[in-house]
Amino acid sequence: MLNYSIDADGIATVEFDYPNKSQNILNAQSLGAYGETMQKALADPAVKGIVIASAKKDFIAGGDLAELGAATDAAAFHAAISQTHKLMRAIELGGKPIAAALNGSALGGGMEIALGCHYRVAADNPKARFGFPEVTLGLLPGAGGTQRVPRLVGMMAAAPLLMEGKRIKVAEAQKIGMIHAVVKVGDERTAARAWVADAIAAGSKPLQPWDTKGFKIPGGGPNRPNGMQMLMAANAMLREKTYDNYPAPRHILSCVYEGLSTNLDTGLAIEAPRYFTNLVMSPVSKNMIRSLFFGMNEANKLASRPAGVPQQKYSKIGMLGAGMMGAGIAMSTATAGIDIVLLDTTQEAADKGKEYARKQWNKQVQRGRMTAEGMEALLARIHPTADYADLKGCEMVIEAVFEKREIKADVTKKTEAVIAADAIFASNTSTLPITGLAEASVRPANFIGLHFFSPAEKMPLVEIIVGKATSDATLARSMDYVRAIGKTPIVVNDSRGFYTSRVFGTYVSEGMALLEEGVPPALIDKAGLIAGMPVGPLALADEVSIELVYKIAQQTRADLGSAYVERAADRVAAKMVADLGRLGRKSGAGFYDYPADGPKHLWPGLAQQFPVKVPAGTQSAGADEAPAQQGGRAKNALLAAADDGTAMLTLEQIVERLILVQSVETVRCLEEKVLRAPIDADVGAILGWGYPPFRGGPIGWLHTLGPAQAVATLDRLAEQHGPRFAAPQLLRNMAAKGERFYPA
């Protein structure tokens, strides 16, 4: 855990060396060992000074998230963290010079340990990062980070570190004053030791700045004009950005304001129980840790990859269709150092795809994020062509041609005539079932769905769709490709809309149903944002195009025949597309108008097409009334009865519907075995369509509510709004048995 030695000059070295891990992490065990060792060193008269170091390639990676995620005893947790605070104060005030030798990254609790030393010297290691990523997982740096960082570097410089989890490189850390000195890699221990030796020789008893008489917070504290202004702006910005869905940044601001208004000891006593323990116990941090950290890590480690299939290395991929998706996938592939043959119907069309890549990368070059030579090297990997013969030697070919069965069948046949018998053919279809598309293949076992998201060069998720005939080997090798290009895979079984489109579609549809019910459109889209979604449902319908919603409804109706149940969204889409010709953003007209000379705004005509339900006795909405006014007026009367006698919806009810409609469809996907595991649902939702991480994911949110409460709520919603909210049997069974989706 820790190596401890004392040299001839009485300088002790305390070296973090977590057993059987590549990184040092902080948990009850390692912190316990640190406490014991430091107390021993402080008490030992033979020890004159101490160097804190690491035996790993980095200093300390941070707190043990498994331990934090599992902590449920608030009193015990608070006692433990208070103990850590006490230890760090004893170190700071122990009268012996203590220096940290930072050989690599020091993050979260690791940086806090370093901040508890009198002196920090870092190796000039280009890979090293310093900062506090806690906020990104719903936590705060609770070993005194919220108190020491702003006291050391000032509130301004501390803000991005604490509030955004920004990680900085060594030069910046030195510039803002978080690190005292930077030395050649390998010299950091010697430098730390030299500082300790000098302090011993000088006979000084080093103190932290905040323990020094006359200490002033750099740039002023929270009650100085600058500080007040900064906090006021930060509060407002936070509220605007997060709708207060994330308690961590708000708690950090409170720690800074309250803690810096007093001395360090009182500040620590404020940080520990009121804010840090509170966050660790909150469902938000549990959700974020589970989905964003463990779920994502499992997915990236390919935990669900079929065993026994040798890892596939890729050197040449074929891409059919050089359109928006094809060009993006080509960019991701080339970036991973894999050659890519980009095929379209004509050489010119294929060249256009490569041009797209050049345009995107050129922006990186202009921003200094890529060199011109680097860009040319990447472009050299993209080989545009119209000739199928060029696909020879590809280990995998992905198609992203038009969404038409016949065209996809045609390119499948032409490709399979050229590629090796064991090569994989993947379809990037967004709607067509994979098993059906595989009928065009002579090797359906090698046929699979790889559903990318737009823009494909940026979006991190790939939904892998396993058809009826897809072999385990094809799945395993496809997962290898997804990882090779640095994306996160989730694996689902074949079904209409697969998982992501199917559930994401319910959010958009629910927004359209609300519109038909007479809820003001401005309120619907605002409710989506307040729910934590990145875009309101109507704005989103415009983005993906209302026409697509309309077309999918038509296709589903044709496929299902009499079994098809018409939804409100189908009627709204039909009216918008067939009657009004408002297809969405791409046609410049949808639920919103897109004027060439200004920002988009809700289409005023909506009020006539979908009259807003107003409380009894209130004048009904006119077409000439601005949508914002409609929203405002209806919002004031949210709890009133409408003029037809039915109750008006509250904001909370709208949010509840927009969120639970996704959860209930996700449970159906689990029940129908479209999804293989709850965590796939949660990771896929967050990465695929920006589902709010604070809820953990559509399943994580049900876990948070608890299945029993979820069933009760869904029963009420189903009674009010129809069977789309009906609780699936799977959920009822869990509620009856007192089970949950994840460990408590």
Which residues form the catalytic set? 112, 134
Report if residue 525 touches ligand NAD, rule: CB under 6 A.
no
DSSP string for 76-104: HHHHHHHHHHHHHHHHHTSSS-EEEEE-S
Stretch that binds ligand NAD, among 144-152, 241-249, 344-352, 695-703 (CB under 6 A): 344-352
CB-CB contact of 448 with 470 (8 Å): yes
Q: Which of 653, 667, 651, 647 is nearest to 711 (CA)?
A: 667
Distance of CA 29 to the CA centre of its chain: 30
Q: Nearest approach, Cβ of 414 to ligand NAD (angstroms)?
A: 8
684 to 713: interface string for ligand NAD, x by CB under 6 A: ------------------------------
The smaller minimum CB distance to ligand NAD, of residues 61 and 320, is found at 320
Stretch that binds ligand NAD, among 139-147, 318-326, 572-580, 676-684 (CB under 6 A): 318-326
Report if residue 450 touches ligand NAD, rule: CB under 6 A.
no
In whole angstroms, give the CA distance from residue 126 to residue 57. Answer: 12
The smaller minimum CB distance to ligand NAD, of residues 241 and 414, is found at 414
172 Cβ partners below 8 Å, 6+ apart? none
Whose tokens are 């129980």? That residue is 273
The smaller minimum CB distance to ligand NAD, of residues 133 and 326, is found at 326
Report if residue 505 touches ligand NAD, rule: CB under 6 A.
no
Report if residue 452 touches ligand NAD, rule: CB under 6 A.
yes
Report if residue 454 touches ligand NAD, rule: CB under 6 A.
yes
Report if residue 564 touches ligand NAD, rule: CB under 6 A.
no
Report if residue 548 touches ligand NAD, rule: CB under 6 A.
no
Angle between helices 500-516 and 521-530 (to 10 degrees): 140
DSSP percent split of the chain into helix, strand, coil, nearest 5: 55, 10, 35
In the numeric block, which tokens belong to residue 425?
Answer: 């053919």
Stretch that binds ligand NAD, among 35-43, 324-332, 417-425, 614-622 (CB under 6 A): 324-332
Report if residue 665 touches ligand NAD, rule: CB under 6 A.
no
Using CB under 6 A, pick the residue from 25, 289, 401, 539 that binds ligand NAD: 401
Report if residue 324 touches ligand NAD, rule: CB under 6 A.
yes
Stretch that binds ligand NAD, among 213-221, 339-347, 371-379, 654-662 (CB under 6 A): 339-347
Torsion of CA 493, 499, 500, 501, to 10 degrees: 110
Using CB under 6 A, pick the residue from 147, 312, 429, 663 that binds ligand NAD: 429
Q: Which of 88, 83, 123, 115 is nearest to 99 (CA)?
A: 115
In whole angstroms, give the CA distance from residue 459 to residue 436. Answer: 27
CB-CB contact of 331 with 357 (8 Å): yes
Using CB under 6 A, pick the residue from 326, 590, 707, 728 that binds ligand NAD: 326
The smaller minimum CB distance to ligand NAD, of residues 247 and 489, is found at 489
Q: Which of 3, 8, 99, 118 is nearest to 50 (CA)?
A: 99
Using CB under 6 A, pick the residue from 254, 312, 428, 630 that binds ligand NAD: 428
Report if residue 390 touches ligand NAD, rule: CB under 6 A.
no
- The dihedral sign for the CA sequence 141, 145, 147, 153: negative
Task: Name the residue whose CB lies closest to ligand NAD.
Answer: 323
Sheet containing strand 130-131, edge to edge, reads: 106-107, 130-131, 167-168
In the numeric block, which tokens belong to residue 716?
Answer: 């009420």
Stretch that binds ligand NAD, among 124-132, 399-407, 442-450, 658-666 (CB under 6 A): 399-407
Torsion of CA 65, 69, 73, 75, to 10 degrees: 50
Using CB under 6 A, pick the residue from 68, 230, 320, 577 that binds ligand NAD: 320
Residues forming contacts to ligand NAD in the complex (CB under 6 A) are 320-326, 343-345, 349, 400-403, 407, 410-411, 428-430, 451-452, 454
